[in-house]
Amino acid sequence: MVRRRTCLALLCFAIVAVGPLCAEVPPGPKWLQTALFYQVYPQSFFDSNGDGIGDLRGITQKLDYIQSVGCNAIWINPIYESPFGDAGYDVTDFYKVAPRYGTNEDFKNLCAEAHKRGMHVCLDLVAGHTSIAHPWFQQSAADRPNRYSNWYIWTPADDSVPRSQPFPGEHNRSDRYLPNFFPFQPALNYGYAHPDPKEPWQLPTTDPACMAVREELKNVMKFWLDLGADGFRVDMASSLVRNDPGHQAISLKTEMAPDSAGVRSGLVSLSDRFESSSGICSSR
């Protein structure tokens, strides 16, 4: 199932040697060149404990089946903690597997079992937004300034910005926030490539808050890579930065360059491989 409202994108990491970074699109991990993905919609795939909901242990139990139909990689739709107002695309904790699907240890085991079979595992990185119940948003909405105040896109309280939503509360700011899809999915703030000077709420991509969101996204990726993930399908990859028609504002190709975590970049556009895609793919 391809999510109806997103560009298909993959941010894939593989532990393979890659050449020097260059301005052009690097080739990506070798395994991706021959990857055939089986998309796993976790809640309806295979239920290992009979509670009526598919889970990570169920996916692990079906790896041999997935391999038997010719696939050598899986992409799992969101498995993070969530109130599931939108099938897990409304995340409340990017660092924890939702209890309905199991535990982080179950994910670690799934990756280990997949790797034993020469298979690769990609998670769905919900990069564009969170749930309104996420602690980041709860703090961002507070009427006292804090480190999360600009992690989301807040617009004037006067209802002048289309689709902006109020978030009333005794101790909440009077501004309105921009959602991506449902009102309970506030957009994370990666900034505007070309902020409108007449709209000071449009922050540039270099704003410290926007930079902090991007750094946190990298932390999320590193966390799951350390547990064994091989890469990510990135939700909304092509539209994280606003007002950026040429997708030039943030060069993730270079931003994910080698760092202290040992992540070696090679962020590759997969747009020539996947319809409606403007995704990115990385090697390490």
When binding is defined by CB under 5 A, the residue of 5, 30, 36, 49 that contacts Ca ion is 49
| Residues whose CB is less than 8 angstroms from the CB of residue 68 and which lie 6 or more positions away in sequence, other chains included | none
Q: Which is nearer to Ca ion, 25 or 53 (CB)?
A: 53
- The string over 115-124, giving b where at least 16 C-beta atoms fall within 10 Å of a residue's C-beta and e elsewhere, is eeeebbbbbb
CA pseudo-torsion sign 96, 98, 99, 104: negative
**Piece of the chain touching Ca ion by CB under 5 A; list 41-49, 89-97, 142-150, 209-217:** 41-49
Binding of Ca ion by 46 (CB under 5 A): no
When binding is defined by CB under 5 A, the residue of 21, 47, 207, 218 that contacts Ca ion is 47
* Closest separation in Å from C-beta 235 to Ca ion: 24
Q: Which is nearer to Ca ion, 46 or 274 (CB)?
A: 46
Sketch the per residue contact string, 55 through 94, with Ca ion: x for CB under 5 A, - otherwise. x---------------------------------------
Q: Which is nearer to Ca ion, 73 or 79 (CB)?
A: 79
Rounded CA-CA distance 79/125 in Å is 10
**Piece of the chain touching Ca ion by CB under 5 A; list 46-54, 86-94, 128-136, 215-223:** 46-54
* Closest separation in Å from C-beta 150 to Ca ion: 39
When binding is defined by CB under 5 A, the residue of 53, 71, 142, 257 that contacts Ca ion is 53
Q: Which is nearer to Ca ion, 62 or 247 (CB)?
A: 62
Q: Which is nearer to Ca ion, 106 or 244 (CB)?
A: 106
Number of residues interacting with Ca ion: please give it, by CB under 5 A: 5
Q: Which is nearer to Ca ion, 41 or 223 (CB)?
A: 41
Binding of Ca ion by 51 (CB under 5 A): yes
**Piece of the chain touching Ca ion by CB under 5 A; list 45-53, 71-79, 181-189, 265-273:** 45-53
Q: Name the residue with tokens 């699109």.
A: 25
For residues 116 and 60, the answer to whether their CB atoms sit within 8 Å is: no
Q: Which is nearer to Ca ion, 51 or 272 (CB)?
A: 51
Rounded CA-CA distance 244/254 in Å is 17
Tell me phi and psi for residue 66, to 5 degrees.
-60, -40
**Piece of the chain touching Ca ion by CB under 5 A; list 47-55, 111-119, 165-173, 242-250:** 47-55
Q: To the nearest 10°, the Cα dihedral for 83, 56, 136, 218?
A: -150
**What are the helix (H) ranges across 8-122?**
30-33, 56-61, 63-68, 104-116
Binding of Ca ion by 254 (CB under 5 A): no
Q: To the nearest 10°, the Cα dihedral for 236, 13, 259, 262?
A: 160
Q: Which of 170, 158, 163, 156 is nearest to 202 (CA)?
A: 156
Q: Which of 11, 137, 130 is nearest to 75 (CA)?
A: 11
**Chain positions contacting Ca ion, by CB under 5 A:** 47, 49, 51, 53, 55
